[in-house]
Amino acid sequence: MKPIPFDPKTDIAPIPFDEVHLDLARKMKKSGLQWKPHVGCFVWDPERLIETESPFPLRVYFILSLPRFINIFGSAENVAEKLIWLPTWYQSRLIALRIGIDHTEVTGLYKTESFPAPGDDLSGIYRLILEKLRSG
């Protein structure tokens, strides 16, 4: 059976990843964000190491079967090294709690004159995480 790719013109994206999210995720990784690959993670393959085309735009993949990714990269450690984790909003909230970002900083993302556009709330929490990682 041939896969049916995601169509951004007609399909509703499961998660709002765009170039801003990818850039922030790369910076979070470079700033020390650690992760253990597991089912339920979105990842980005900026180096085009995965031969199979992604069903999502921008070479974003979803780990549904970790053994499949381990087959490609050789180990879970290599998956974490070669790919960039794109935490979901929920995962980002958990990261924020773990690294000591106060909930008022997160709720501050919503205390503006207008409600954040779809995806801006996730990029906002990515920025908070990045700032905390960089400040030590």
4-61 tens-digit pLDDT = 777 878 988 888 899 999 999 999 999 999 999 999 999 999 999 999 988 888 999 9
Does residue 107 or residue 79 have the better pLDDT? 79
Q: 33: which 2 tokens? A: 């964000």
Is pLDDT at 112 greater than 80 in this prediction?
no
- The alpha carbon torsion through 55, 123, 87, 108 (nearest 10 deg) reads -150
Question: pTM of the prediction?
Answer: 0.90
Is pLDDT at 66 greater than 90 in this prediction?
yes
The set of residues, in sequence order, having a beta carbon less than 8 Å from that of 35 and lying 6+ positions away, is 41, 80, 85, 87
Q: Which residue has the tokens 């974003």?
A: 60
3 burial type by CB count under 10 A (0-12 exposed, 13-18 middle, 19+ buried): exposed
How far apart are alpha carbons 14 and 27 in whole angstroms? 23
